[in-house]
Structure 1
């Protein structure tokens, strides 16, 4: 019985990991991390939006690894740009006020051993697809598509 439970837990853990990986859309950036963050910043501003905050996730993970008992370096660098669109946010929240759960919006840039990626979290079907379309437009522009 215990072996069956362990197997079920292992299968669930692998399934959850695969599902989590599918919860984001990513694009490969041909260039440096610094160039990618600059491109994302410009693409956001180019949409007439204001960046509220840049979260330096990679720095935080590298700084706190030893504090939590880990020596694993996940990213060489990772930043998330946080912003909102008054127009689109109003539209999606008028459709469903609980869409506030998805605001503000974020686009991330990561560098893992020289592989630079730009991406965003996938959003639910329905009105939030307007936001996802904006995130995709910005991400594609940043990577030169």
Structure 2
């Protein structure tokens, strides 16, 4: 199949639009970063879901800062938990197969200036609200203990 570069660029731009319109929902966590990551993982696993990957974004940024010419500390710590739900994913992708662009789902834990927060990004109206509800339940459980 052949594509013109303008078609590819237009498609990439169209896929980028929803991400740029997304916002984060944050909840303060009363405890340490380690306690928050444990609470998030427990809330995910407690629903019968599997954490596919934990991205240690904070460690990566700290490790690579000097390599890219920066001495700015962005986070004291930051981890992103990536996972999927067969039930929810099937539901939202049966409604619209292009909802695959939102998978896997993620919940993040941040620590900045001693303040720990857990959160997730918002999703577009429609079927993806089912995913957002799942993420909200996970984050609220983790934050509220």
- For the aligned pair, the TM-score class normalised by the smaller chain equals 0.7 to 0.9
Looking at structure 2, the residues matched to 86 and 51 of structure 1 have their Cα atoms a distance apart, in angstroms, of 13
The yes-or-no answer on 1:120 pairing with 2:120 is yes
Looking at structure 2, the residues matched to 21 and 88 of structure 1 have their Cα atoms a distance apart, in angstroms, of 22
Gaps in structure 2 of 5+ consecutive residues: 1-19
CA RMSD of aligned residues (A): 1.4
1:144, distance to aligned residue in structure 2 (A): 1.0
The yes-or-no answer on 1:143 pairing with 2:143 is yes
Looking at structure 1, the residues matched to 21 and 55 of structure 2 have their Cα atoms a distance apart, in angstroms, of 20
Aligned to 1:132: 132
Render the CA deviation track for 1:80-130: whole Å, top value 9, x for unaligned.
000000000000000000000000000000000110000001011000000
> Under a length normalisation based on structure 1, what TM-score does the superposition of the two structures give?
0.84
1:22, distance to aligned residue in structure 2 (A): 6.7
Distance 1:106 1:27, change over 3 A: same
Looking at structure 1, the residues matched to 75 and 25 of structure 2 have their Cα atoms a distance apart, in angstroms, of 18
Gaps in structure 1 of 5+ consecutive residues: 1-19
Looking at structure 2, the residues matched to 22 and 30 of structure 1 have their Cα atoms a distance apart, in angstroms, of 26
> Under a length normalisation based on structure 2, what TM-score does the superposition of the two structures give?
0.84
Q: Which runs of 4+ in 1 moved over 2 A?
A: none
Aligned to 1:77: 77
Matched residues, number: 126
Looking at structure 2, the residues matched to 99 and 21 of structure 1 have their Cα atoms a distance apart, in angstroms, of 16
